[in-house]
Amino acid sequence: DTAVSQTPKYLVTQMGNDKSIKCEQNLGHDTMYWYKQDSKKFLKIMFSYNNKELIINETVPNRFSPKSPDKAHLNLHINSLELGDSAVYFCASSQHGGDEQYFGPGTRLTVT
């Protein structure tokens, strides 16, 4: 039933590790996004894919690599994790050119 789902919900890992967050949407949307929400609750877009094509790529370290195997999935892989990567990561989806974005429940990443 869940429209936009993310796994895992919590992720605790050590500095230097590589981790992935998965996102799936069952809304039939063709555009998906990754956002980062920092400890001060500030939300910032990282990436957006439309039909598996990267259309938004903000100034994000290249340790972050999104991958979209199909238009219903957008995964985020993070290499060589740093303390500053600790945040909540949200996946979202929308129709291309559409106004409303539907957000997932978030993945809280803690790097120790």
Binding other proteins (rule: CB under 8 A), the pick from 4, 21, 74, 111 is 4
- Kindly state whether residue 52 participates in binding other proteins, applying the rule CB under 8 A: no
Of 62-81, binders to other proteins (CB under 8 A) are none
Return the range that interacts with other proteins (CB under 8 A); candidates 14-22, 49-57, 61-69, 74-82: 49-57
Is residue 91 within 8 A of residue 101, CB to CB? The reply is no
Q: How far from the centroid of its chain's Cα atoms is residue 6's Cα?
A: 9
- Kindly state whether residue 96 participates in binding other proteins, applying the rule CB under 8 A: yes
Binding other proteins (rule: CB under 8 A), the pick from 74, 78, 92, 111 is 92
Is residue 45 within 8 A of residue 35, CB to CB? The reply is yes
| Cα-based distances in Å from 50 to 27, 29, 72, 79, 97 | 14, 9, 10, 24, 10
Minimum CB–partner distance for residue 94 and other proteins (Å) = 6
